[in-house]
Amino acid sequence: MVLRPAGPHFVQRTTRARQSEALAGQRQHGAKMRRSVATESDAEALALVAVRGRSYGRAWETQEVAMTALGRRSVLVASLIVPTAHIPLAFAVDALPDARFVGFAQAVNDFDLASGQMALQRSANENIRGYATRIIADANYDASALRKSGSEAGVSYAPDGSMGPKTQNLLAQLNTLQGPAFDTAFAQGQLAVQTDCEAQYGAYSQNGKSGPLKRYAQNALPKAKERLELARRLAGGR
C-alpha cells in the first residue's frame, strides 16, 4: 500500500480539531478558576487563607476544613470564658467624708476582732485559725492607730451607713454556726469585708481630706491588700 501525503483539507480539519480541544480545555480551566475564586472568597470570610486546596477540584474540601477550623476556634474561645460571679469584684469607690471614714475603719476593725475570736472558738480548720490569728493582730494595731489619727485630725466618729450594718449582719450569722458551716460563712464574710476595706483604704489614701487619717489609710493599705489576698485563697479552697 502506498502512503500518500495528507491533503490540505485533512490538515485543515486536524488543525481545527486541535484548536477545538485547546479551546475546550481553556473553558474547563476557566470554570475551575471561577469555582476556586468563589470558594476562596467564602474562605476569606472565615479568615482562612493558609488552608487552601492544592487543586481546583478540592474547593469543597477547602470550605469544609475552613468550617472545621472556625468551629475549633469558637470552642477554644468559649473554653476561656469562666464564671466569676462567686468572686466579689473590686470597683473604684469614692473616698468617704472624714467622720464616715473613721466609722468605716472602726467597723472593719471591730468585725475582724470579733469574727477572729469567734473563729478560734468554733473552727478546727488550721487555715481558718491561722487567718483569724492574723486579723486579730491587725485589728488591735489598727484600732490603736485609728484612735490616734482621729484625735490628731480632730474628727469625731460618725457611723458608716454601709459597713456597720454589713458587719453586724455577718457577725449575727456567724454566731449561729459551728464547724464546716462556720468555716464557709467566715471565709465568705471575710472576703466581702476585706474587698470593701481594700477599696476604701485605697481611695482615702489618695483623695482623703484629713492629713492624719490619710496617713492612717496609707499605712493600713498594705496590710489590707494582704488580708484580701489571704481571704481570696481562704474562700477559694481551705
Q: What is the pLDDT of residue 57?
A: 40
Number of H helices, E strands in the chain: 7, 0
Q: What is the pLDDT of residue 17?
A: 55
- The structure's pTM equals 0.63
Domain covering 98-236 assigned CATH 3.40.50.720 in the classification: no
C-alpha cell at 154: 480632730
Residue 210 three-state SS: coil
Residue 182 neighbours by CB under 8 Å, 6+ apart: 118, 119, 122, 123, 174
Residue 134 neighbours by CB under 8 Å, 6+ apart: 227, 230
Q: Provide the residue ranges of all domains of the chain, joining segments of one domain with +.
A: 9-79, 98-236
Q: How far is residue 17's CA from residue 1's CA, in Å, rounded to a whole number?
A: 27
C-alpha cell at 85: 460571679
Q: How far is residue 183's CA from residue 177's CA, in Å, rounded to a whole number?
A: 9
Q: Please report, as a single letter, which amino acid is at residue 40.
A: E
Closest CA to 144 of 196, 195, 106: 106
pLDDT averaged per 10 residues, the chain (length 238): 49 54 59 48 39 38 39 36 41 90 98 98 97 98 98 90 94 97 98 98 97 98 98 87
